[in-house]
Amino acid sequence: MSRAIKHRVEVNQQAVDIWLVRTAQRKRTIALQISPEGRLSVRAPLRTPLAKVVEIVRKKAEWIHLHQAGFFGLVPEPSPPREFVAGESFHFLGQQYRLKVEQAEAGERATVTGKYFCVSCAKEPARGKANAKEQIRAQLESWYIQQAKEFLPGRIERWKIKLGIDAEHRLVVADQSRRWASCGAGGVIRFNWRLMGAPISLVDYVIVHELCHLRWPNHSATFWRELLRVMPDYPERERRLAIKGAAFGF
């Protein structure tokens, strides 16, 4: 079986990596496939010139980007699953914090002291009350939601000025288990609170992506051109979000 050979080609002023697999000579078709991680594989007959493969990739550029963006927009499951025990690491704006659990009546939210998330947990919860893991998770989630509500508005306004967008929007911080963010009718932009675990550069990418949707609701060629204009390295930010995303949420 032929092994995949990586090639980097330019498509619409962007560097695109393809993994080319040469198939048996009797086959005549060129097939494109995108993995859940966003990797683009191309299967082509043995004697097909590389220039022909690149031509096909360029013709399918919009399809490729649409599907890759779909994968990058998905929130991966944390691996391994969170245990919510003392010493476990959680991310906030790209920085790691250790969990410190205190035996006390459960508070409303976690607090941050130095490099620690401090939470309170009842040693023996009353009948019908949440167990320790549920108490800790609820406190952390509440803290992240509050941070998102405080951090995102100013960041969004900053990027609206850079983009020259004056359209009205409404920010909603939501528990979206499968997507980082979405832009709906009437300018409603929903951000997943889990995004607050990501570095600011990746938070900015998601913000700019959704703000561009205020002008271009779909993933048209114009949409991608504007995104490239204001954020030339956005493909790399997409890749980092896909690769690192599992560490940001719970």
- pTM of the predicted structure, to 2 decimals: 0.75
Instruction: With respect to residue 81, please indicate whether it lies within any of the assigned structural domains.
Output: no
Range of the domain at 140: 89-247
47 lies in the same domain as 125: no
- The total of structural domains in the chain comes to 2
Is-contact 179 131, C-beta < 8 A?
no
Q: How confident is the model at residue 52, as a pLDDT?
A: 92
Per-residue pLDDT tens over the stretch 217-248? 877 778 888 888 899 999 889 888 988 898 99
How crowded is residue 137: how many other Cβ atoms within 10 Å of its Cβ?
Answer: 16
Please provide the average confidence, as pLDDT, over all residues in the chain: 86
| Cα 97 from chain centroid (whole Å) | 20
Tell me the three state secondary structure of residue 85. Answer: coil
Instruction: With respect to residue 77, please indicate whether it lies within any of the assigned structural domains.
Output: no
CA distances from 78 to 26, 150, 240 (A): 43, 25, 15
Burial of 110 (C-beta count, 10 Å sphere; 0-12/13-18/19+): buried
- Which of 14, 42, 72 delimits the end of a domain? 72
CA distances from 155 to 89, 94, 168, 190 (A): 26, 16, 15, 14
Q: Which of 193, 223, 175 is nearest to 69 (CA)?
A: 223
Per-residue pLDDT tens over the stretch 35-65? 756 788 898 988 889 999 999 998 888 778 7
Instruction: With respect to residue 80, please indicate whether it lies within any of the assigned structural domains.
Output: no
